[in-house]
Structure 1
Amino acid sequence: TNEGSTFSLVFQCYVELLNFEQTILNMKPKLLRFVMSSVRDQVNLFPFTQFSDIKQQQSDSLMKSLETNMQKYLFQLIQLYKQDKITTYRFIYEINFLSTRSYNDQSQYPIFPALFGQQAPDRDIEFRQLKYPIVFGGMQRIQTLIQKCKDSLEFGSQQPISSIHFSHSQTSSWWQMRIEPFTSAHLILQNCKFDAPDRLFSNTFSQFKNALTNQQNCEEVIAELFYDPSFLFNVNLQEFGSTQAGEKVGNVRIPDMFQDAINYVDVMSQFLEQKSLKAQIMQWVQMVFS
């Protein structure tokens, strides 16, 4: 029918759109199934699916064709990635796209890796092991978490390693509360007032230290950390108050090893593109998205 033909045409256009925005990843079967289920969910949102004369087998056939084409296309892109023809930033961005994450949805904001296992103003940066959640930290932290799990099992319960996801609806507004529309989003989430100064994002060193010491924190970072320093400046001169230590919250404080916020973001982008991290980035993607 005309309606069925319209559905097929729109669906094929949607497939072509996905092919334009594909990713590169040596996907394990589990991750590929996740990607395909995400695509299937998106297809179900099409209003054309309400037409009663569209046969289910037509949709299944198209989905099977899409999956086959994706596998072929991904294989080709893997080769490009291995040849360093696509940056790590682009790689992670595409993965976020395929998993239906978007800058237009705070609850599904793109996830990027927090690279550091240790960061202090007076010492060199140490990269974390990206194949583990950031909550794992070093070996001492891992032992603490193992003991925590053992203790919970002894009492007949099973406690999660972390009660916080890699990214959630407040992540983007917390990082970018100094610029709109995230300032307004933060205020809405905090009943029209800024959170307590000590809990605001005010110091990059404190942020990574908290991530490594808070046993409930598994949060990663936002993409802007690698290309846009504007979220580090209090450009709208918001009054965030002062911490208990008497420090006024304004621009985000940057470790002394960096010249300024712009240099900080530039160095972060260079760290992300280091070839020595490439294998770990693949492991991080498997951990977060599968």
Structure 2
Amino acid sequence: SKPARSSRRQFIISRREKSMNFDTSRFADIREKPQLEQLLAHMITPLVETPGILMITNMLLYFQPFNDISSVPVFKYQLCTIKNLYRRRFIMSHCGLELLFADDRSLFLTFRSKEVRDHVFNVLSKQQELRLHKEHSLENMQLKWSQRKISNFQYLLFLNQQAGRSLNDLTQYPVFPWIISDYTSNSLDLKNPRTFRDLSKPIGALNDQRLSALRERFAQMPDTPECPRFMYGSHYSTPGYVLYFLVRVAPEYMLRLQCGKFDSADRLFSSLAGCWTSVLKNHSDVKELIP
């Protein structure tokens, strides 16, 4: 039966994982000392979970994938280049840990439990080589933004990071709000309030006519414990929406999500003006932008 095959497959995978050992010959420096026993972990990139072994020394963090698909047998990260550590959720489970580096790279890892994740976080936090950027607090970044020392883009990306969003997870991808509402004029009048979107309202409430129709539908819906009433049938951010904008930047993501095929041509992103019209009028389209 299908459950039996799945159980056998999981047993084989689990047995193989337990038999794997970290290759200590990959240490970059003879002065390195392991700070914890090797741990099973998954490296998360968009739509891909790569199982492997995590090793932390007093100088570097290593991730050794189980597979040999990558041209790099072991990923190495110097602890002194880590600027921030974040506890993350992954698939609604508090088992993730994301490391942000000084060169703006990131590493998203997941573990078997919250306890294991917290243990790794604590071990990393105690390392003397770690140089976390404590000036990146919410208050300091807000002050820098208000003084125009950082851009709107940098500030919004920071807020997304603080909210638990990550470029490595399409289900929790950073959200950037629509700001401009005029996509037809040859030039923008920045002194005209109508040039800008009303940020006091969610995207689904910008069009009064659509909002009235949604409220009417909401009032007519049956309300049961199994299926409670809802205002919007979609969300402002989903993996599909993210891929809608990234289809030309990272077409491989859509191919992974849709079994090697692109979406229908009429559903691919082609115009910012057309997209804005859709999110303003379409009853099932309330997506915000991405970085």
TM-score norm. by structure 2 comes to: 0.50
Greater Rg over alpha carbons, structure: 2
TM-score norm. by structure 1 comes to: 0.50
Higher strand proportion (structure 1 or 2): 2
Higher helix proportion (structure 1 or 2): 1
